[in-house]
A = this chain, B = another copy of it.
Amino acid sequence: MTAIQGARERARREVTTAIMDEARRRLAVDGAAKLSLRAVARELGMVSSALYRYFPSRDDLLTALIVEAYDALGEAAEGALEAAPRSAPAERWVAVCAGVRAWALAHPHEFALIHGTPVPGYAAPPDTNAPGGRVPFALARVAREAVEDGLLGPVPGGPLPEPLAREAAALVAEHAPGVPAPAMAAVVASWAQLVGLVGFEVFGQFTGVIERSRAELFTHQARRLAEGAGLPPRQVPPH
């Protein structure tokens, strides 16, 4: 009525976010695989066909939710990074890992959306690449800033085999200048292993194996991943 730039555009934004809110809610009930456009529309008091004015297909709604989830997870990781003191790289690394874990446990269905089984026939569009890179970037940033501060120690595990050294060097050049290639390889692998640890918790695969000390096991392993990237523990033990 009074708004600049048209009431219609504003209404469109509102309906769009209402759809995504409801979709996120239904995600937690039925899961991504059974996310139903009709159910979302019904809950919103609109007819299913009207929903196609906002999202051309079910997969496009999914894509929007995926991007949103990647961004939320990335924000959790980056937030944990900012909050940790730069002088203790290993603790920063563990903080990022813990941030990822906490977000995933609080949003299991959205975590499943981005790190569970990919929907067959659904190819993640390039829009998801940048937000999907935020967590590994946060890990790489810990390594990069440790290098800048002269806090990166030797990376255990010996020299990298040839093709891996080359690819790691390419990643270093593009995303984390100054970081040694073995540390970069460790960052990438740690990312996958971190998701593995978190996924086991979120998907309940530790049931009956580890029940009461999952947080401890996780932290313990996150610390070891940090070591693997050349980030020494708080005080170097005398050997």
- Which residues of A come within 8 Å of B, CB atoms? 29-34, 112, 115-121, 129, 132, 136, 156-158, 160-161, 163-164, 166-167, 171, 185, 188-189, 191-197, 199-200, 203-206, 208-213, 216-217, 220-221, 223-224, 228, 237, 239
Which residue of B31, B34, B129, B213 contacts A208 across the interface (Cβ within 8 Å)?
Answer: B129
Residue pair A164, B217 in contact (C-beta under 8 Å) = yes
Alpha-carbon separation in the docked complex, A194 to B189 (Å) = 10
Known: A160-B220, A161-B216, A185-B217. A167 touches B197 (CB 8 A): no
Residue pair A197, B203 in contact (C-beta under 8 Å) = no
Which residue of B188, B203, B204 contacts A217 across the interface (Cβ within 8 Å)?
Answer: B188
Residues of chain B with a CB closer than 8 A to A119's CB: 31, 33
Alpha-carbon separation in the docked complex, A174 to B157 (Å) = 33
Residue pair B211, A200 in contact (C-beta under 8 Å) = no
CB-based nearest B residue for A165: B213
Residues of chain B with a CB closer than 8 A to A158's CB: 237
Known: A31-B119, A120-B34, A160-B220. A199 touches B197 (CB 8 A): no
Q: Shortest beta-carbon distance, A189 to chain B, in Å?
A: 5
CB-based nearest B residue for A29: B120
